Structure 1
Amino acid sequence: MDDLIADFQLGGQNERARAARTPNRRNPLGGEVVTGDAYASGQEPEIRIDTSVAHPARVWDYWLGGKDHYPADVEVGDQLEETIPEVVLWARADREFLGRVVRHVIGEGVRQFLDIGTGIPTRDNTHQVAQRLAPESRVVYVDNDPVVLAHARALLNSSSEGATDFIDANLHDPDTILDEAARTLDFTKPVLVTLLGILEFSVTDEAYTIVNRVLEPFPSGSFLAIACPSNETNTEAMDEVARKWNDSGATPIIMRSAAGLKRFFEHMDLLEPGLVPLPQWRPDTGTLYADRGMDFYCAVGRKP
């Protein structure tokens, strides 16, 4: 395990995002760039960041070996690693899962993507994977974390044939997400909705209603991908992870069981292999840790 983590952290340091700090409504490659109201004036919105409390995007960045984190994030990240040493592997496995899902739905003809809970940009963001295979792909990113907003420009670099958009919105306001996503996405065509590492921050059963509302306007053939930590197999340790995180003063999280995670797909057809640890969802030759179990689960469903 120590060797795996050392290799992971070194790789993260070499691959950290070099995100610009100011928004840009024009893509130098000529692609369409649509930005949210916060950027309508062409000026960077005021962003206030509280560095005294751990922030999920910054802790994730710390585990990836990035540079956009503060002592509070390091402290909590280290505390969680003491309980579950593999937590530092979750971030890389999550990014690889995203790539595999995007490639799969591209093969199914999907060219539209709604990425909710984007996080700090890093390598192989959704639009980069999608437009590499299908340059006409249209991608909408959604996040309201100040740290992510500070990096939003890195997500607005579309191919010449496609489009990207960034929406400053909260998962708990699905109507705003859909209203603003309609600027870029055609709701008569299938879409992939990704909710990776975000549903654990929606701690009540309202999360199921929100996901159903987001999917409601999209047609048959649309997909949903989720990834969440779970207390299904390592209950005591994962509940301790949740306790340590919640005690830090950060945005509270909840650990759901396998049944709780599968419930997000009750109106969808769950793709094989079903709900599995991150590296075990259709691994390819480049998948790291493909033979490992993880307490971070994922699944993909198709709207019938």
Structure 2
Amino acid sequence: MTDPASATPLAQLLAALVRDGGAARWHGAIPPDWQQGRTAFGGLSAALALHAARQLEPELPPLRSAQVAFVGPLAGAVTVSATLLRRGRNAAFVAAEVSGEAGLGVRCTFVFMRALPDALSHARGAAPAAAPPAPSDRVLRGGHPQVAFTRHFEFVDPPGQDDPAAWLRWARLAERGGLHPEVELLALGDCLPPAALRLLGVGAPVSSMTWQLNLLAPAPATRDGWWLLRSATDHARDGASSQQMAIWDADGRAIAEQIQSVAIFG
């Protein structure tokens, strides 16, 4: 496990990306402290792709949706590329990829859309009853000692969790300065272990396959960096799990809904 003092903040990693001339292509490196086993942490890979997408076009509207496919492992030197698929009056579609020595690692499609006049206002459900972390609460820095990327996150577990197929955790990036709010949220959104591991009761090799995040409000923000994350497995069989995920801010406002498919090797 990498010591926090020698870890690379996400903003520093993004700032070190070098653009390839005038092309929509950037070169950089993923340090060991952002690894998850033999590949980069999925939230980091998606954040790299979103960062590149936002450099591609001036004055993009807010991010509304991210579709992420984790195609192969990423480690060490990487290339990030972005392509404008379409920009209309209200929305823009941007594709972005992250590749490494082993080939394509992550392929993303981002949808950016400006707010439109309300034709409908509807919300279902409320945030779980979990008070934001207090100064006296025990904050855990990192998770499993063999999962390096967790050293970049801080967690607080709310009491009274009785669903054996779900995680509910307060989480925040330990180093948040200098980040676009959408990039910060995307980096954080995938930081919980797959919920199916709670059902197993033991550790097992896992790998995210696909992930979709829908942002419910522009310019996501919260207090003290804390976001409430929930991940719940709906179905797990034949080595594959489908889980629903959600994010709320510290005031209980719904920020994102997500769905993810996870492979379980064990």
Q: Same fold (TM over 0.5)?
A: no
Answer 1 or 2: which has greater strand percent: 2
When normalised by structure 2's length, the TM-score is 0.28
Answer 1 or 2: which has greater helix percent: 1
When normalised by structure 1's length, the TM-score is 0.26
